[in-house]
Chains A and B, each alone.
Chain A
Amino acid sequence: MIKTLLARAHQGHRTLAWPDGPPPELPDRFRGLPAIDAARCPDGCRACADACPTEAVSLSPAGPRVDLGRCLFCPECAEACPEGAISFTRDYRLSVRRREELVFSGEPLPLATSLETELRRLFGRSLRLRQVSAGGCNACEADVNVLSTLVWDVGRFGIQMVASPRHADGLLITGPVTRNMELALRKTWDAVPEPKIVIAVGACAIAGGPFWQSPEQLGGAAAVVPVDLFVPGCPPHPATILDGLLRLLGRLEKDGRVAAR
């Protein structure tokens, strides 16, 4: 008992001050929002698009575009580029409300807006989510789980992962949705009472991730249910997931970090 108390004193208070205080420190090699400098692209160069394992990079006359929904942040494109026209910043804020908004060409990303008034009134201070893992590699699940540790402590925002879909306000889905999970996902979705929302976490749940060409998966959650929030990454950093959730709940607007739309 004494040892437990001593350990408690030594281990200390570890909950992040963010979002009221500074954001968590991310490692220098962290790969968040890409930076694209199309002016550097040599004529006719396709190195980035050719290197990408998921065809996330497309080339337009205005320069390369990265579909953050497909992107694995791997970073083959940045390594392949002879001129450093694609690199990765440490900006962890990546979540959006609509799939097409993830195609990034260097313009500011239209970060997620909050839920509509009525849903926000219902869920803004209390959001219960049922997580469904549907063919992912368990890394997204791991970093969703991390949000419930005392470091991130999502409980302080009224967010909780619950056991039963009947107790949930929505689903948080990871994985590309395997054919073998399609039925279970549908049944879980049906069991959530209306009104309900869906959050797709990770490259798999948005676009199939590394498995995008596999016939045993459906290319993401949107193939089965309507998605309200897309959180890119492979896997997304816990900060990216929490940032997305808080934006969806309208909890980050006051600090002025929500991009204007």
Chain B
Amino acid sequence: MSGPRLATLRNGSALPLAAVPDLPFEDLRDAVVRETAEGNRLVSFFASVPEPASPASSRAGGEVELLAVVADDEEGTLGVGRARLEGERFPSLTPACPQAHWFEREIAEQAGVVPAGHPWLKPIRFHSSWREGHDAWGRPALAHPVPGVTDFYRVEGEEVHEVAVGPVHAGVIEPGHFRFQCHGEEVFHLEISLGYQHRDVERALAGGPHKGTVPIVETIAGDTTVAHAWAYAEVVEALAGVAVPARAGAVRGVALELERLANHVGDLGALANDVGFLPTASFCGRIRGDFLNMTALLCGSRFGRGLIRPGGVGFALEPERAGRLAERLVAGRRDALEAIGLLWETASVTARFEGTGVVSPKDAEEIGLVGPAARACGIGRDVRHDHPHGIYRYVHLPVVTASTGDVAARAAVRAAEVERSADFVAEQLAALPETPARVPVGPLAADSLAVALVEGWRGEVCHVALTDGDGRFRRYKVTDPSFHNWFGLALALRGEEISNFPLCNKSFNLSYCGHDL
């Protein structure tokens, strides 16, 4: 293929920044558009802006740098390129590359630059620009933006009405605002407006690693602690040139699959609850807790806090403990499969699941869906398989797909993954390598870039770090799978009855805090 080239690296590795081509913006744009048109995916696309006092802010060629990471899932490689913007505008990639749409809204909001020609350029989190005096919407610098106060897409017509829900929802759920354009019961369009959980995670991580870094990473999305902490650890290990001991690698795999088990089982129970099938709902509510308690057996925390640490794991997994865990796993697996199996036996459940909340494979590809939501559309996309790292280089998990793209397909993928993950964990526990739990980690390489992808239970977690001359993070970019998938939920609702929203929503169960950062 001709045209500008991106630098190539593998998942969980680092490159000196000097090896990342510094392209004219048009070349970066062409490379991303060409690669995504060929079937590769945009896994990260972000702006880096200098600290106000930094000398870089006065360097030639403008102060905002854009960096893109594109994944070739077939080759298992990642392409990176960057460009420095001239001025405050750049031609939007979104019309030619729809996957870029949310990333460009994020870039506009954070860096105060305008992706000109973006079809729906609105804030995604409602915070002030990171560059004082530069705002993509020309908002006043001193006032904090008010979340949800923006223009919404409206369908006009005599019998069209609008339903607005949130930020505070009915239930113990995170906050978000949803606008439905309805014709009777039918949803023409759903617009999702988030940002209520925004805690400024990325700027808190810049300047690190510092002692607050790990707790912040562990709480990017508290139900995905292991996946995010693993991605962070891998970024640090790549920059420090550290190899993780084999036993720690296995324990990480066990923890990540336990996280998947707990969440899949819990959500399948919640789906049962949403269609009024209480046996599975009740059983799964309990069994989810059993899996969380298995994680607590590893590290004392049901959510895996304190477990993943750069250089390995924070807690040893002794043979006796591994034995106890294996016993509990057998019971958890059996109970879970029995409870989930009831779903497919029950006509009142399948009738509600099938054909509800369909996302087409074409839409899924275009917007870059990840995780079980993508696999439910027949797209065999899974970091553990496509970009294997850690334990997944040695132990291969079969990728589970379904074809119908509806609630039933998302449930079926997750149900099958419960079985696969439980088998994987059992296999690891039976043959833990005898190496230390953790090795020391030295200073990080200066002026470098590292990328780590981890397949969390919702899909791809992506962390990208850029270091400065002292080996500190000058930019730390986090992409939670929810960032890609929220728009998929909106598409799933098109033409759907509004009363099916809870069911569709639960079948994705996306993270607000992971999106809002």
Contacts and interface: CB of A to CB of B under 8 A. Distances in A.
Interface stretch (A38-46, A71-79, A98-106, A115-123): A71-79
Interface in A132-158: 132-146, 148-151
A56 B172 CA distance: 28
A161 B169 CA distance: 12
Interface in A204-229: 209-211, 213-217
Given A142-B303, A180-B125, A210-B215, 9 more contacts: A27-B293, A133-B172, A146-B285, A148-B172, A150-B285, A184-B168, A211-B219, A216-B200, A235-B222
Contacts of B345: 3-4
Contacts of B218: 210
Interface stretch (A47-55, A59-67, A249-257): A47-55
B200 A215 contact: yes
A181 B286 contact: no
B303 A139 contact: yes
Contacts of A261: none
Contact of B289 (A53, A73, A146, A215): A146
A95 interface: no
Interface of A: 3-4, 7-8, 10-11, 14, 26-31, 51-54, 72-76, 130-146, 148-151, 161, 163-165, 175-176, 178-181, 183-184, 188, 209-211, 213-217, 234-235, 237
B339 A7 contact: yes
Contacts of A136: 174, 197, 219, 222, 513
A181 B167 contact: yes
Given A8-B279, A211-B204, A237 B302 contact: yes
B242 to A, nearest CB: 19
Interface in B217-244: 218-223, 225
A73 B433 CA distance: 29
Contacts of A237: 302
B199 A178 contact: yes
28 contacts: A3-B342, A10-B338, A31-B301, A52-B211, A53-B212, A53-B215, A72-B215, A73-B305, A74-B306, A132-B168, A133-B174, A133-B175, A142-B222, A142-B223, A142-B303, A143-B302, A150-B282, A163-B171, A165-B168, A180-B126, A181-B197, A183-B146, A184-B168, A184-B196, A210-B219, A211-B219, A213-B212, A237-B302
B172 A188 contact: no
A161 B196 contact: no
A163 B167 contact: no
Nearest to B282: A150
Nearest to B194: A180
Closest 4 A/B residue pairs (Cβ): A139-B222, A29-B300, A163-B170, A137-B222
A149 B167 CA distance: 25
A4 B301 CA distance: 33
Contacts of B144: 179
B18 interface: no
Given A7-B342, A53-B215, A141 B172 contact: yes
B338 A175 contact: no
Contacts of A179: 144, 198
B283 A7 contact: yes
Given A11-B339, A75-B306, A135-B199, A4 B346 contact: yes
A141 B221 CA distance: 12
A235 B177 CA distance: 25
Contacts of A135: 196-199, 513
Nearest to A161: B172
Nearest to B294: A27
Contacts of B286: 11, 14, 149-151
B199 to A, nearest CB: 5
Interface string B232-273: 000000000000000000000000000000000000000000
B215, B285, B346, B511 — most chain A CB neighbours (10 Å):
B215
Interface string B177-219: 0000000000000000001111111001000000110111011
